[in-house]
Amino acid sequence: MKKKLGLFSTVMFGLSAIIGSGWMFGSSQAARVAGPAAILAWIIGALLVFIIATVYVEIGTMFPEDGAMSRFAMYTHGSLLGHVSSWANWLALLAILPIESVASVQYMSSWPWEWVKWTKVLMNGDQLSAWGIFAATIMLALFTIINYWSVALMAKFNNAISLFKIFVPIITMIALISAHFDFGNLGSNFSTFMPNGSSSIFLAISSAGVIFSYVAFQTVINLGNDIKKPSVNIRRGIVISLIVSALIYICLQIVFIGSLPSSIVSKGWSSLNFNSPFSDLAILLNIYWLSTLIYFTAFISPFGSGMAFSASASKSLASMPKNQHMPKFLAKMDNKYNSPRVALLVNFGVSFIMILLFKNWTILSRVVSATMLISLLTGPVVAGSLRKLAPDFKRPTKIKGMKFFAPAAFALASLAIYWTMFPTTIEVIAIVIIGLPVYIVFDGRQGFHNMKQKFKSSLWMIFQLVFLSLISWIGGTDFGGLGLIKYPLDFVIILVVSVFVYYWAVGSSYRSHYFGEAKELNDTINLEDPNE
C-alpha cells in the first residue's frame, strides 16, 4: 500500500519549500533595496500571498491529485489555457531547483576555513564558475536521487531537514540580538525608515526572494494524492506553513537590520554587499560559532527546499500528459515506489540547462517570481468560474467572501508581476509562450477539436500578458519602464484593468471536455470531520 503524508509531514514539506535560500539572502537583498522598510516588504508579501493561497485552498481541496496545479484551468477553460497554465506552473516549480543549487554553492564559495580554500573557485565574481556549475549539478543530482525512490523516503529526509531549518534561524536571531541590536538602525522618522521611497518596498518584494519564498505553498497542493485526508490536511498544511514561515521571515529581517554595525549602516543601505549575509554579519560581531553553523545550514536549507520542489515539479510534469498535450512517457510510473521517474530525469536535464543560463541568485529570484505569479493567475479565475459552473461540487473548504478574494487575488498577482521589472516581465512571458508549439502539435493530432471555444476562453489570458508587457515597458522608471506612466498611477491602472479582465475570464468559462474528470475526482472526496 502506498504510504502517504500525515499533517506533520505535510506542514514540514510546506515549510521546507518556503524556508529555503530566501532566508539566507532575502534579508540582505531587501534591506539593500528598501532599507528598514524591507520589513514591510515581508509583511505585505505575506498578506498578498495569503490572499492568493486562500483561493487555492478551496480548489486544491476540491481536486486532490498529483500535480493538481497543472490541471485546474483545464476544467473550466479548456485545454489551451490549461496547457499554458500547466506549462507556466511546471517552469516555475522547476526553476526553484537551480536557484537552490546556486544558493548552496554561493555560500560554499565564501567558506572561511583554510582546509576548504578550494571552494573559492566555485564563483567567478557574482556568477558560478565552471567548477561552481559542476557543484550545483551534483546538488541537482542529489535532489533527483532521493525523490527517485519515493515520496515516503523523501518525507523522512524532509521532516528532519525542516526541523533543522526552523531551529537554525531562531538560534541565529537570538545570538545576533544578544550580541548587538541597535533600534536606531530601524529609522527615527519616515525618511530614514523608508530612504528610497514607498516604491522600493514593492521592488524588494520581487527582487529579494519574498514572492518566490512564500508562493512555495503550492508544493502542498501538487502532492494532493500523497497526503492523508487531503480535504483537511491540504488546508491545514498551507495555513500553518505560511503563518510559521511569515513570522520567521519578518523577524529575520528585523534582526538583520538591527544587528548591523553602525559602520556598515553609515555607508548607506545601497552599499550592503554581503556574499554570505548572515554568516558575514556573525563574523563582524565576533560570533564565530554562529558563522560556522550558518555556513553548514546554507547547504542544508536549500537542499531541503530543492528536495521538496524536485518532488513537486516532477508531479507537475507527470500530470501534464493527462491533458493530452504532452508525451505520455512523462507520466510513466512503473516502479514499486510509484514515483514519476521519467519526469524526475527530464527535470534534472532542464534544470542543468537553466544553471548554464542563469548563474546568479538575484537574477534567478526575479525570473522565478514572475514565472510563479503568471502560473497563479488562473487559480482565482477557476475558483470564481467553479462557483458559477459547479455550485453543487463538494467543497471541503468553502471560502467565505470568494467574490472578494478571487478578483483581489487576480489583481494583486498581476500587480506583483509588474514589480518584477522590465525587461524580466517580457522575458518570462516569452518563456511561457514557448510552450505553445508543443500544444499546437498535440492538438493538431486530435484535429483541433472545438478550437474556437478554447481560443475564446483563453483570449483574456493573452490580453492580460500583452497588457502587463506593455505597461511594464511604458510604466514607472522605478520598475524599469520608460516613465510614461508614473508611480503610483501605474498601480491603479493595473488593478482596475485586472479586475475587468477577471470578470471577463470568469464569463468566458465553460464546461470543458475535461469537466467530467473534475466531477469524478470531486465525487471521491469524503467530507471528513475537521476535528478528527
pLDDT in tens, the chain (532 residues): 456 778 888 888 788 778 877 888 889 999 999 999 999 999 999 999 999 999 998 998 898 876 677 788 889 998 889 888 888 888 887 888 888 888 888 878 877 778 778 888 888 877 888 898 999 899 888 888 777 665 555 556 666 677 777 889 999 999 999 999 999 999 989 999 999 999 999 999 987 878 878 887 877 886 666 778 777 788 888 999 999 999 999 999 999 999 999 999 999 998 898 878 899 999 999 999 999 998 888 777 677 667 767 777 787 788 778 777 788 888 777 566 667 778 888 889 988 988 887 777 777 777 777 888 888 899 999 999 999 999 999 998 899 999 999 999 999 999 999 998 887 778 777 877 788 888 888 878 877 788 889 899 999 999 999 999 999 999 999 888 999 999 999 999 999 999 999 999 999 999 988 898 889 988 988 775 444 4
- State the total domains in the chain: 1
Specify the amino acid at residue 456: K
pLDDT at 315 (0 to 100): 75
Q: Give the CATH number of the domain where residue 92 resides.
A: 1.20.1740.10
Q: Which helix (H) or strand (E) holds 127?
A: strand 127-128
Contact 222, 67 (CB under 8 A): yes
pLDDT at 152 (0 to 100): 54
Tally of helices (H runs) and strands (E runs) in the chain: 23, 2
The distance from CA 52 to its chain's CA centroid, rounded to whole angstroms, is 12
Looking at the domain assignment, is residue 528 inside a domain?
no
Looking at the domain assignment, is residue 532 inside a domain?
no
pLDDT at 473 (0 to 100): 93
pLDDT at 336 (0 to 100): 61
Q: Which of 365, 222, 381, 274 is nearest to 31 (CA)?
A: 274
Looking at the domain assignment, is residue 285 inside a domain?
yes
Looking at the domain assignment, is residue 30 inside a domain?
yes
Q: Which of 149, 148, 106, 152 is nearest to 129 (CA)?
A: 106
pLDDT at 529 (0 to 100): 47
pLDDT at 1 (0 to 100): 43
Looking at the domain assignment, is residue 529 inside a domain?
no
Phi, psi of 227 (to 5 degrees): -110, 135
pLDDT at 408 (0 to 100): 96
Looking at the domain assignment, is residue 491 inside a domain?
yes
Looking at the domain assignment, is residue 117 inside a domain?
yes
pLDDT at 251 (0 to 100): 96
- In three-state secondary structure terms, 128 is strand
Looking at the domain assignment, is residue 531 inside a domain?
no
- In three-state secondary structure terms, 123 is strand
Distance, CA of 79 to CA of 90 (rounded, Å): 16
pLDDT at 494 (0 to 100): 97
| Greatest Cα-to-Cα distance within the chain, rounded to the nearest angstrom | 69
Structural domain including 93 reads 7-523
pLDDT at 434 (0 to 100): 81
